[in-house]
């Protein structure tokens, strides 16, 4: 069995994750230990690599017990209450909040402060409990409403002035559908385009990549929200799309002689992991 293999050139860490990982690695060059508030990236293999260098993942409860220490805030960002807690405990913060997320937090906070006196509502399209979403809800003192579909948007009270935002890594097509629905119910609703441009462009390029390959190996951690969205996108245009976390999960029976296999991944998938899959598949093809 012989087949061709290609890595999607646009897959791999988004800029925000690249920045967070680089800052963690830079710190660990001069120290044997660094705390991270939550998983720096939703990818178990990358986390194992960083833990081996000295990164320790802490929950907020664990972090609250630290005193006079250092902690990294990941690209997803945190609500204001987290910063207040860390400052009270004299914790030095390495703030790796993605600039795109930071700008979104500021916009959500500003709109909430304007709408709140009018009895308005801030609505966020995102994954309930996701770190980025928690940070956004925190900008509204916990009052923002999180929705995940048109169906959940139907439960909103449209008698209130409404502002709609999206988690930066959500599907642009689905967000447009929700925005259309919200505007149909409340024509003066404010809809903000807050999906990361890099993520939106990746959606477009990934559709073309999946269509031009006979089989797709999609690589991402199971906890990656963006991974689920992008894998579902691949599968919607190529039914021979398979999601794996590592080489051991690849079934050679998925592939056929003459295939053109595409390897791609989420914004939380490192390049080295895509390259590891590439080497394995090339070996599989050459040794058949």
Task: Report the interhelical angle of 172-185 vs 197-211 (nearest 10°).
Answer: 120
Tokens (6 digits) for 50: 């960083």
> To which residue do tokens 């995102």 refer?
126
Give catalytic status of residue 132 as yes or no.
Answer: yes
Cβ count within 10 A of residue 192: 14
> To which residue do tokens 């009052």 refer?
143
**Exactly one of 6, 132, 174, 275 is catalytic; which is it?**
132
Cβ count within 10 A of residue 106: 11
What does residue 259 show for φ and ψ, rounded to 5 degrees?
Answer: -65, 155
> To which residue do tokens 């959606």 refer?
203
- Which pairing describes strands 4-7 and 55-58: parallel, antiparallel, or unpaired? unpaired
How far is it, in rounded angstroms, from Cα 78 to Cα 95?
10
Q: Are 47 and 57 in contact (CB under 8 A)?
A: yes
What does residue 133 show for φ and ψ, rounded to 5 degrees?
Answer: -65, -40
Q: Are 127 and 167 in contact (CB under 8 A)?
A: yes
How far is it, in rounded angstroms, from Cα 86 to Cα 195?
29
Residues with catalytic roles: 132
């Amino acid at each position: 069995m012989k087949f061709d293999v290609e890595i999607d050139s646009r897959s791999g860490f988004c800029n925000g994750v690249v920045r967070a990982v680089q800052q963690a690695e830079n710190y660990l060059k001069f120290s044997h230990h660094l705390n991270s508030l939550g998983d720096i990236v939703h990818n178990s293999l990358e986390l194992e690599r960083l833990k081996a260098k000295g990164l320790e993942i802490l929950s907020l409860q664990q972090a609250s017990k630290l005193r006079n220490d250092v902690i990294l805030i990941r690209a997803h960002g945190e609500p204001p209450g987290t910063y207040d807690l860390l400052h009270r405990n004299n914790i030095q913060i390495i703030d790796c909040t993605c600039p795109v997320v930071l700008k979104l937090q500021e916009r959500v906070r500003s709109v909430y402060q304007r709408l709140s006196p009018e009895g308005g509502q801030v609505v966020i399209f995102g994954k309930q409990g996701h770190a980025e979403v928690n940070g956004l809800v925190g900008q509204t003192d916990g009052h923002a409403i999180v929705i995940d579909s048109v169906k959940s948007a139907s439960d909103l009270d449209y008698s209130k002035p409404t502002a709609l935002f999206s988690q930066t890594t959500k599907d642009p097509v689905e967000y447009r559908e929700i925005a259309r629905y919200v505007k149909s119910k409340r024509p003066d609703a404010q809809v903000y385009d807050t999906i990361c441009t890099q993520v939106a462009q990746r959606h477009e390029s990934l559709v073309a990549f999946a269509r031009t390959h006979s089989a797709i190996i999609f690589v991402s951690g199971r906890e990656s929200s963006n991974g689920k969205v992008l894998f579902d996108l691949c599968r919607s245009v190529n039914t021979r799309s398979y999601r794996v976390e590592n080489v051991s999960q690849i079934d050679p029976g998925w592939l056929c002689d003459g295939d053109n296999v595409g390897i791609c991944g989420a914004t939380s998938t490192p390049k080295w992991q895509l390259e590891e899959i590439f080497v394995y598949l090339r070996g599989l093809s050459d040794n058949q």
